[in-house]
């Protein structure tokens, strides 16, 4: 399995490292995606939220004033981007399982796989943002139930993709004589990624999926190392090769002429999202400096078992084009 790949996660909530707030513009998102595709980045990811997540974080304090900032819907955006890209794989970071019925999501994913000529990675998570569910009338469930629902969803989606007719009777989902046509382009099916930094999410990834996407917000580098050790242990326990699990993490690349200049930009961003600048800058998922500095910082994650690092991009097309080009020039 290939290692040391880079992807991008689009700034669908309008995040920016500049001195000013910026208005969300789909044309900027499109240009960033095209740059990543042009320079050979592995995946293009779109976050799945209904309210701007800059106003909250898993287990964190909410900033309701941020919820009024714009954010585009994930699946519509990814579908549009599939028509202006041709090489990069397309995914979400990650789809909230509570938002869409799994049988309908299987249909949507199969269609997008067809439109994109087999470039879809389906990424699913249990969901963490209670406020956006309540704001949109989506029933919120306790964590244990959300995990059960996530596992059932993956099981049902795989069957619909691979079987002619499916009857499924689970604790949370039931369908009778479900038929999904056309099937996905990818055979036997598109890859499925489970998102979430917890050991519970990791276990579902090992049991049911092909990849595990780790949110480096709540999961520090040191905690990731512990989680990866548990991944290896659990794979051995169930008889699965740990190398068959594609592990991805997110990171914030702050490109500048040198590290001190990048620190200044990082301080601006940390203050905007109400985080302590020193603590933010010291996080090993914040990469500071030149393209060489950024790839060197990513190497620590690769050495710890990660297959792919996904860059959380700012809402700046020129920045994205420069970063993608310079990272590509450093790649073997």
| Whether residue 1 has pLDDT greater than 50 | no
CB 213 within 8 A of CB 207: no
Q: Tell me the CATH number at 34.
A: 3.20.20.30
Work out the angle at residue 295's Cα, subtended by the Cα atoms of residues 293 and 299, and round it to the nearest 5 degrees: 115
State the Rg of the chain over Cα. 19
pLDDT at 19 over 60: no
DSSP string, 135-188: HTTPPP--HHHHHHHHHHHHHHHHHHHH-SSEEEE-SS-EEEEE---SPPSSSS
- pLDDT 10s digits, 229-281: 999 999 999 999 999 999 999 999 999 999 999 999 999 888 877 788 898 89
Domain count for the chain: 1
pLDDT of residue 270: 84
Query: How would you classify the pairing of strands 43-46 and 89-92?
Result: parallel
Check residue 46 and give its pLDDT: 96
The answer, yes or no, to whether residue 2 has pLDDT greater than 50, is: no
pLDDT above 80 (res 331) = no
* pLDDT tens per residue, range 169-215: 999 999 999 999 999 999 999 999 999 999 999 999 999 999 999 99
- Residue 13 pLDDT: 79
Structure confidence at residue 51 (pLDDT):
87
Q: What is the rounded distance in angstroms from the CA atom of residue 230 to the CA atom of residue 19?
A: 41
pTM of the model as a whole? 0.93
For 83-141, write each residue's pLDDT tens digit.
999 999 999 999 999 999 999 999 999 999 999 999 999 999 999 989 889 999 999 99
With a cut of 60, say whether residue 322 has pLDDT above it.
yes
Q: What confidence tens digit (pLDDT) does each residue in 28-85 have?
A: 999 999 999 999 999 999 999 998 776 555 555 566 666 667 889 999 999 999 999 9
Instruction: Look up the domain containing 33 and give its range.
Output: 5-330
């Amino acid at each position: 399995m290939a290692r040391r790949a880079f992807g991008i996660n689009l700034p669908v909530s309008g995040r920016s490292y500049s001195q000013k707030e910026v208005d969300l513009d789909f044309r900027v998102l499109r240009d960033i995606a095209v740059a990543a595709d042009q320079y050979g980045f592995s995946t293009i990811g779109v976050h799945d939220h209904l309210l701007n997540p800059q106003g909250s974080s898993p287990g964190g304090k909410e900033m309701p004033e941020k919820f009024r900032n714009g954010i585009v819907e994930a699946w519509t955006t990814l579908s549009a981007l599939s028509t202006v890209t041709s090489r990069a794989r397309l995914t979400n970071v990650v789809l909230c399982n509570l938002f869409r019925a799994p049988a309908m999501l299987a249909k949507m994913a199969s269609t997008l796989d067809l439109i994109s000529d087999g470039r879809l990675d389906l990424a699913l998570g249990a969901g963490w943002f209670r406020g956006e569910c309540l704001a949109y009338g989506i029933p919120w469930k306790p964590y244990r139930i959300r995990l059960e629902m996530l596992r059932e969803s993956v099981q049902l989606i795989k069957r619909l993709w691979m079987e002619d007719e499916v009857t499924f009777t689970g604790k949370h989902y039931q369908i009778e004589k479900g038929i999904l046509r056309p099937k996905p382009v990818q055979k036997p099916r598109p890859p499925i990624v489970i998102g979430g930094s917890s050991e519970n999410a990791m276990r579902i990834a090992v049991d049911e999926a092909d990849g595990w996407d780790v949110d480096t917000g709540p999961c520090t580098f040191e905690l990731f190392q512990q989680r990866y050790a548990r991944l290896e242990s659990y794979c051995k326990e169930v008889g699965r090769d740990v190398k068959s699990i594609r592990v991805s993490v997110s990171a914030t690349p702050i490109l500048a002429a040198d590290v001190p200049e990048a620190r200044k930009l990082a301080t601006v961003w940390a203050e905007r999202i109400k985080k302590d600048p020193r603590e933010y800058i010291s996080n090993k998922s914040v990469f500071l400096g030149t393209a060489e500095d950024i790839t060197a910082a990513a190497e620590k994650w690769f050495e710890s078992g990660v297959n792919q690092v996904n860059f959380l991009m700012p809402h700046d097309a020129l920045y994205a084009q420069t970063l993608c080009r310079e990272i590509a020039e450093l790649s073997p």
